[in-house]
Amino acid sequence: MLALVVTALMLVLTLSGGATWFLRNVLGAKEELIGPSIGVLLVLAALPVPYVVAELNMGRLLRCGLTTFIGLAKGANVLAMALVVWVMNATAPGAGAMVGAVATVAGAIAEMAAVSLAVRQLGSSPAAGD
């Protein structure tokens, strides 16, 4: 739930002009950097949800002593990021900072999917206090 609130807040601030104001007046960003930054912020607004789901599921795996799956999930993250960077650089060489933003989101989603699948294989998650 908190992840959805953070995502909604990021979207509202970015779409309402709050992010532009913050970049210009607080960080002192140059105008030519502000425009491309807004697109990157919109993409990065998706991050809280996969991060929270992945972390919750990693906690379940840790409680069961299944750390190997966490390492595999981190590997899936890096692999997805590398694949997105490679594909975007080949197909959209002028994408700039958007490449990193899309790769970061793709990596987070791959990690979330990997740990979610591992937790699903457990059959049931450990009860609180176990």
- Check if the beta carbon of residue 126 is closer than 8 Å to that of residue 64: yes
Whole-prediction pTM: 0.81
Neighbours of 75 (CB within 10 A): 13
Measure the CA angle with vertex 52, ends 113 and 46; round to 5°. Answer: 80
Mean pLDDT of 15-26: 86
Map out the domains of the chain as residue ranges.
1-45, 46-130
Q: State yes or no: pLDDT of 2 exceeds 80.
A: no
Q: Where does the pLDDT of residue 129 fall: very low under 50, low under 70, confident under 90, or very high at 90 and above?
A: very low
- CA gap 46, 104 in Å, rounded: 10
The residue that leads in pLDDT, 4 or 28, is 28
Specify the DSSP class assigned to residue 36: H
Q: Where does the pLDDT of residue 36 fall: very low under 50, low under 70, confident under 90, or very high at 90 and above?
A: confident
Give pLDDT tens digits for 101-119: 999 999 999 999 999 999 9
Return the amino acid letter for 19. A
What integer pLDDT is reported at residue 82 of this predicted model? Answer: 97
Give pLDDT tens digits for 62-80: 999 999 999 999 999 999 9
- CA gap 24, 12 in Å, rounded: 17
- CA gap 118, 58 in Å, rounded: 9
